[in-house]
């Protein structure tokens, strides 16, 4: 209920629509809480607090995550506005696959819409030579390199900002003194800091028509596993999230190559199921370095690996 969100996207339309949806949902929940409070005087003061406040619930920062300077500015915008950072979801992804059986097809592939947008993003105009125009190379930049940058920036910002606001610490102290019991919802909102890297089932299961996409996602899985130690060292959990195919523009851009894989997992994964898995990763404790998979047939579960993590 109390979350403040920065939406980071290369797309103006997608980013502003997401912020609008967050505002709409939270306003509705606040109204419901106020109505509840009127029926229950004991909660009136609390509900009043939730509704006021000048800080927005959500802001949008237009950013190409594959440009480290822009990504750093997006993190700075969040910290300047909200003063703390508890949850980061590195979610941006694209699928510009290579057909290894037809190497010449790359020349013929149309310019990625993503690259076209790149020129519209603020900052100095890009010189052609600065951009590696190979679509698959751009996919590595967005799906893997930007996740590395996203984790590094998240750790830096989390370490530099207080985990809880002074008011919350005071509240918690008072609650303890009064012997008050914290509700389950409240406990969840106080869960320790977490970075979720969105990988894919393609990062766990070899998908012959998506070799480079799968390689980027396998990279995200391994990156997250290797960072398990950040939980004991810094109190930051880093996890990877591996959903099966969902009906989104990215999946549709892959086309027929995905159809067989979708059938294999029991159809498209409903977005609500993906959200459920993501929320479990965020609220579970002690899961730093873990990998969660979710598909329509089996639901969500933590992945167990045959190998082991080497000592640091």
Ligand X SMILES: NC(=O)c1ccc[n+]([C@@H]2O[C@H](COP(=O)([O-])OP(=O)(O)OC[C@H]3O[C@@H](n4cnc5c(N)ncnc54)[C@H](O)[C@@H]3O)[C@@H](O)[C@H]2O)c1
Site size toward ligand X, by CB under 6 A: 23
Distance CA 224, CA 283 (A): 17
> Do the beta carbons of residue 95 and residue 254 sit within 8 Å?
yes
String marking each residue 170-199 x if it binds ligand X according to CB under 6 A = ----------------------------x-
If DSSP states are collapsed to H, E and C, what string results for 157-180? HHHHCCCCCHHHHHHHHHHHHHCC
Q: How far is CA 144 from CA 44, 137, 218, in A?
A: 47, 10, 9
Strands 291-295 and 299-302, by their bridges, are antiparallel
Smallest distance, Å, CB 11 to ligand X?
Answer: 4
Judged by CB under 6 A, the chain residues 115 through 134 that form the site for ligand X are: none
Stretch that binds ligand X, among 48-56, 92-100, 164-172, 182-190 (CB under 6 A): 92-100
* Shortest separation between residue 262's beta carbon and ligand X, angstroms: 8
* Site for ligand X contains 66 (CB under 6 A): yes
Which residue carries 């949008």 as its tokens?
60
Interface with ligand X includes 288 (CB under 6 A)?
A: no
Closest CB to ligand X among 182 and 251? Answer: 251
- Interacting residues with ligand X between 195 and 234 (CB under 6 A): 198, 200
Residue 268 — φ and ψ, nearest 5°?
Answer: -65, 145
Q: Give the shortest CB-285-to-ligand X separation in angstroms.
A: 25
Closest distance of CB 301 from ligand X, Å:
16
Judged by beta carbon, residue 37 or residue 135, the one nearer ligand X is 135
Closer CB to ligand X, residue 47 or residue 135? 135
Least Å distance, CB 282 to ligand X, is 16
Quote the tokens at residue 309: 């993590």
* Residue 239 found at the interface with ligand X (CB under 6 A): no
Residue 62 has a CB neighbour count (10 Å cut-off) of 19
Q: How far is the CB of 220 from ligand X (least distance, A)?
A: 8
- 242-281 footprint of ligand X as x/- string (CB under 6 A): -x-xx-xxxx------------------------------
Contacting ligand X within 5-64 (CB under 6 A): 9-11, 14, 63-64
Site residues for ligand X per CB under 6 A: 9-11, 14, 63-66, 91-94, 114, 142, 198, 200, 243, 245-246, 248-251
């Amino acid at each position: 209920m109390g979350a403040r969100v920065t939406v980071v996207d290369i797309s103006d339309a997608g980013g502003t629509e997401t912020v609008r949806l967050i505002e709409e949902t939270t306003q509705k929940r606040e109204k419901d809480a106020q109505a509840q409070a009127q029926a229950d005087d004991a909660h009136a003061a609390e509900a009043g607090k939730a509704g006021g406040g000048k800080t927005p619930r959500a802001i949008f920062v237009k950013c190409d995550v594959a440009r480290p300077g822009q990504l750093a500015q997006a993190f700075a915008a969040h910290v300047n506005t909200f003063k703390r950072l508890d949850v980061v979801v590195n979610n941006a992804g694209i699928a510009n696959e290579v057909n290894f059986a037809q190497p010449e097809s790359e020349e013929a592939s149309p310019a990625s819409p993503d690259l076209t947008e790149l020129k519209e993003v603020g900052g100095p105009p890009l010189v052609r030579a600065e951009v590696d125009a190979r679509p698959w190379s751009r996919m590595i930049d967005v799906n893997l390199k930007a996740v590395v940058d996203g984790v590094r920036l998240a750790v830096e910002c989390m370490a530099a900002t207080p985990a809880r606001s002074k008011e919350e610490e005071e509240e918690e102290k008072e609650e303890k003194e009064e012997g008050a019991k914290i509700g389950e919802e409240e406990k969840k909102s106080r869960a320790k800091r977490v970075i979720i890297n969105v990988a894919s089932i393609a990062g766990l299961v070899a998908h012959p028509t998506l070799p480079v996409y799968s390689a980027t996602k396998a990279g995200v899985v391994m990156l997250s596993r290797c960072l398990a130690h950040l939980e004991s060292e810094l109190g930051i959990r880093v996890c990877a999230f591996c959903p099966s195919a969902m009906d989104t523009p990215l999946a549709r851009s892959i086309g027929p190559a995905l159809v067989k894989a979708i059938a294999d997992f029991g159809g498209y994964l409903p977005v609500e199921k993906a959200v459920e898995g993501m929320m479990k990763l965020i609220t579970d404790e002690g899961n730093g370095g873990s990998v969660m998979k979710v598909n329509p047939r089996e639901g969500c579960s933590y992945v167990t690996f045959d190998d082991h993590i080497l000592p640091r």
